[in-house]
Structure 1
Amino acid sequence: MLVFIKKNYNKEYRREFVEECFGRYLKFCGENASELPGEAKGKNDKPYFPSRPDVRFSLSHSDNYAILAMGETEIGCDIEKIRDINYKPIANRWFFGGEIEAADSVENYFSVWTKKEAYLKLTADGLSGIRKFDVTGPLEFEGKPVVLTSVDFIPGFKGAIAAEAQEIVFEDVD
Structure 2
Amino acid sequence: MKISKLFISFFNLKITEFVPKKEYSLDNNDIVIYTVYLPNFKDIQADLSKFLNSAELSKTKRFYKEVDRNRFIIYRSILKLVLGAYTKLNVKNIYLDYDFNKKPYLASHPWLHFNLSHSEDFAAIAVSRRKVGLDIEYMSKDFNFTSLLPDVFDDNETTIIQRSTDKKNTFYTLWTRKEAFVKALGKGIDEDFKFIPCLDGEYSVDFSLIKNSQDWQVKSFDLADDYLGAIALEGLATISKNILMYNVPNNMKDLLEMAQKRGS
Q: Shorter-chain TM-score: what band?
A: 0.7 to 0.9
TM-score (norm 2): 0.58
User: Residue 91 of structure 1: CA displacement?
Assistant: 1.8
Question: Does the 8 Å contact 1:78/1:161 carry over to 2?
Answer: yes
**In the alignment, structure 1 residue 40 sits paired with structure 2 residue 102:** no
| Structure holding more strand per residue | 1
Structure 1, unaligned runs of 5 or more: none
Distance 1:4 1:127 in 2: 24
User: Partner residue of 2:136?
Assistant: 79
Compute the displacement of 1:97 (Å): 5.0
1:15-164 residue pairs with structure 2 within 5 A? 15-24=76-85, 26=86, 33-36=88-91, 37-84=94-141, 85-103=143-161, 104=164, 105-128=167-190, 129-136=192-199, 137=201, 138=203, 142-164=212-234
Kindly name which structure, 1 or 2, has the bigger radius of gyration based on alpha carbons: 2
Larger relative helix fraction: 2
Give how far 1:35 is off: 2.0
Q: CA RMSD in A?
A: 2.0
Native 8 Å contact 1:43 1:125 kept in 2 = no
State the aligned residue count.
168
Shift of 1:74: 1.1
Q: TM-score, normalised by structure 1?
A: 0.86
Residues of 1 paired with 2:90 and 2:204: CA distance?
Answer: 35
Equivalent pair of 1:102/1:112 in contact (CA under 8 Å): no
Identity of paired residues, percent?
Answer: 23
**For residue 8 of structure 1, what is the aligned residue in structure 2?**
38
